[in-house]
Amino acid sequence: MDLTEGKEKSKEYYDQVAQTYKQMYEENYDKYPANLIRLKLLIKKLKETNTKTVLDVGCGTCTPMIRLLKEGFDVRGCDFSSEMSYLPYFHQTNTQ
């Protein structure tokens, strides 16, 4: 598989799982807790190293970004999946 094909397959996958992806970061999600565990470890390490700014490349549904913002970090992110990066905007504008 070449880089272009791999990128397209990845994009298709994340576009398909976009609606349920944020569940992987919820405390009660026990099917695959690794994402939440990694996020907690990352936050701990960022605080230990006095990091202030975070760039989240592949930010997906922005669930980790929102958590990092709540923890006081300055966060920016991007994602190549249009479905993933559209969802946070959609949820934000529909809950205001």
Residue with tokens 């919820």: 26
Structural domain boundaries in the chain: 3-95
What pLDDT is recorded for position 26?
85
Q: How confident is the model at residue 95 (pLDDT cuts 50, 70, 90)?
A: very low
Tell if the pTM clears 0.75, that is, is over it: no
Q: What is the pLDDT of residues 8-54, one digit of tens each?
A: 898 888 888 877 888 888 888 888 889 899 999 999 999 999 999 99
Residue 93 pLDDT > 70, yes or no?
Answer: no
What pLDDT is recorded for position 20?
80
The second-level CATH assignment, the architecture, of 3-95 is 3-Layer(aba) Sandwich (3.40)
Which of 2-11, 40-49, 81-90 has the least mean pLDDT?
81-90
What pLDDT is recorded for position 90?
41
Q: How confident is the model at residue 87 (pLDDT cuts 50, 70, 90)?
A: low
Burial of 23 by CB count in 10 Å (0-12 exposed, 13-18 middle, 19+ buried)? middle
